Amino acid sequence: MNRLWAAGTLVVLLAALAVVAYLVVPWHRPPAPRPDQLDALRQLPADKVARAREFRSELRPGSYVSMVLGLVLALVIGLTPLGAWLVTQAGRPFGGHWLAQAVLGGFTVVLVSEAITLPLAAWRHTIVVRYGISTQSWGAWSVDLLKSWAVGAVLGGLVLAGFYTLTHFAPRWWWAFGAAGAAGLVVLLSFVLPVLVEPVFNKFTPMADGPLRTELIELAARDGVPVKDVLVADASRRTKAVNAYVSGLGPTRRIVVYDTMLTEAEPAEVVSVAAHELGHAKDGDVWTGTLLGALGSAAAVIALFLLGSWGWLLDRAGVGAIGEPRAIGLLIAVVTLAGLAAGPAQAFVSRRIEAQADEHALVLTGDPVTFEAMQRRLGTVNLSDPDPPAWEHLLFASHPSTVERMAAARAFARGSR
């Protein structure tokens, strides 16, 4: 009966996820005719395009090897007794207590994977430094890497402690409490991550009073998206890439501009980027992502519970139940597989949302010429392939390509006329 309740709840959650996605995801994207894309590509400096493609081609092998290696490690640790052994050893100094196994075992399993893939991350760093995208020394890069691991350890430790507390004290109904907790955690993190985590990696200072700050504040007010402040991030200490974004929800919302953007781009281009980011806030894209993430996380917890009765999986992992800490490796393997399978769908939805934000920026500023110039500058400075391979774009791209966005600006200009 318990499994029937879980299965029924899973069906309801998946149906709700489908309905919400149908209602809130902008399935229609603004036109970006292919002839306009090809014309835009021809107008880009040939040497810049060649350099960007060379850069991406050097990054590509390491990225795919890292992805495959991560999957193989997750499967080896999760589908063999190795994962259970690692967790057991991690908890041994504390008498094998279930909470020590849950937290320290999770750290150990993840740390093994991170350590094995670390050389690939270092290889990537050498490439981005050589092409002038990264400004970080090995020391600064290592510090940021350790910060990232520390943030992941804190968040992961809290999640694992909470999850296995539920499985320990509510072994038959942990799926229900866990689903509610996962959904609530997604909502909570949407509020607190920008405030608590972003300052770990960047220093933010208020933008100095002047015409640009005034224009950004007025732009947000005209768009009906109140912002608390306009901040400048010290991105130049680690990169030459340019960007701007709107961070936070409600009272924590602020416009953030990279200091590199202020030196590399024209003020009108900064305004165009901010208009795009305000579009995300105006259209509730953060709430859209939060709601979809909450429903998806709740469904994933219940799916894990149902999957836990599959004897073959448990035998392969050398554990008795997926709700015991020794099954952390199996848990990570399943999540890794699910993430890879869901990746293309998530990328597709993200591209639609980004295209809608582009349209918002064009309407809000009424300046397709500057929008196109801004996309050209973003692609050139960030060494983005302006027209990447179709298969790669389909599977992995979270944003429209540079030429797609330039073509959208041209189509908008024709429609405006």
Kindly state whether residues 18 and 113 are assigned to the same domain.
yes
Identity (one letter) of the amino acid at 21? A
Beta-sheet strand order (sheet of 254-258):
204-206, 230-233, 254-258, 244-247
Q: Is residue 146 part of a domain?
A: yes
Kindly state whether residues 318 and 177 are assigned to the same domain.
yes
Confidence label for 190 from pLDDT (cuts 50, 70 and 90): confident
In the chain, the N- to C-terminal Cα span, in Å, equals: 64
Kindly state whether residues 197 and 224 are assigned to the same domain.
no
Identity (one letter) of the amino acid at 238? R
The model's pTM: 0.90
Compute the distance between CA of residue 291 and CA of residue 353 in angstroms, rounded to an integer: 14
| pLDDT for the residue 3 | 85
Q: Is residue 265 part of a domain?
A: no
Kindly state whether residues 170 and 186 are assigned to the same domain.
yes
With beta carbons less than 8 A apart as the criterion, state whether 89 and 328 touch. no
Kindly state whether residues 102 and 129 are assigned to the same domain.
yes
Over 70: is that where the pLDDT of 277 sits? yes
Hey, how many other C-beta atoms are within 10 angstroms of the C-beta on 325? 28
**CATH number, domain with residue 255:** 3.30.2010.10
Model pLDDT for residues 192-220, shown as the tens digit of each residue? 777 777 788 888 899 999 999 999 999 99
| pLDDT for the residue 39 | 95
Over 70: is that where the pLDDT of 139 sits? yes
Mean pLDDT of the chain: 91
Hey, how many other C-beta atoms are within 10 angstroms of the C-beta on 413? 16
Kindly state whether residues 312 and 389 are assigned to the same domain.
yes
Identity (one letter) of the amino acid at 11? V
Q: Is residue 129 part of a domain?
A: yes
Identity (one letter) of the amino acid at 76? V
Asked which of 274, 306, 325 is the last residue of a domain, the reply is 274
With beta carbons less than 8 A apart as the criterion, state whether 362 and 412 touch. yes
Q: Is residue 306 part of a domain?
A: yes
Q: Which of 370-382 are b and which e, b meaning 16 or more Cβ less than 10 Å from the residue's Cβ?
A: bbbbbbbbbbbbb
Compute the distance between CA of residue 369 and CA of residue 84 in angstroms, rounded to an integer: 58
Q: Is residue 329 part of a domain?
A: yes
Q: Which segment of 38-47, 84-93, 249-258, 380-389 scores lowest on mean pLDDT?
A: 249-258
Percentage with pLDDT > 70 across the chain = 99
For residues 344-369, average pLDDT: 94
Asked which of 232, 250, 274 is the last residue of a domain, the reply is 274
Model pLDDT for residues 36-81, shown as the tens digit of each residue? 999 999 999 999 999 999 999 999 999 999 999 999 999 999 999 9
Compute the distance between CA of residue 394 and CA of residue 350 in angstroms, rounded to an integer: 11
Asked which of 248, 274, 300 is the last residue of a domain, the reply is 274
Confidence label for 417 from pLDDT (cuts 50, 70 and 90): low
Q: Is residue 279 part of a domain?
A: no
To the nearest 10°, report the CA torsion of 413, 395, 398, 201: -150
Kindly state whether residues 77 and 23 are assigned to the same domain.
yes
Q: For the chain, how many structural domains are there in total?
A: 2
Kindly state whether residues 161 and 304 are assigned to the same domain.
yes
154 alpha-carbon distance from chain centroid? 18
Hey, how many other C-beta atoms are within 10 angstroms of the C-beta on 245? 17
Range of the domain at 212: 204-260+270-274
For residues 255-272, average pLDDT: 91
Compute the distance between CA of residue 163 and CA of residue 331 in angstroms, rounded to an integer: 11
Residue ranges in 131-266 assigned as alpha helix (H):
138-169, 174-196, 198-201, 211-222, 259-264
Confidence label for 132 from pLDDT (cuts 50, 70 and 90): very high
Q: Is residue 14 part of a domain?
A: yes
Q: Is residue 324 part of a domain?
A: yes
Kindly state whether residues 18 and 65 are assigned to the same domain.
yes
Kindly state whether residues 331 and 256 are assigned to the same domain.
no
For residues 385-404, average pLDDT: 95
Model pLDDT for residues 236-261, shown as the tens digit of each residue? 988 998 888 887 767 678 889 999 99
Kindly state whether residues 410 and 350 are assigned to the same domain.
yes
| pLDDT for the residue 188 | 86
| pLDDT for the residue 170 | 92
- Which pair of tokens denotes residue 346? 């998530």
Which comes out higher in pLDDT, residue 360 or 310? 360
| pLDDT for the residue 272 | 94
Kindly state whether residues 163 and 87 are assigned to the same domain.
yes
Compute the distance between CA of residue 261 and CA of residue 272 in angstroms, rounded to an integer: 12
Over 80: is that where the pLDDT of 392 sits? yes
| pLDDT for the residue 307 | 87
Model pLDDT for residues 285-324, shown as the tens digit of each residue? 888 889 999 999 999 999 999 988 788 889 999 998 889 9
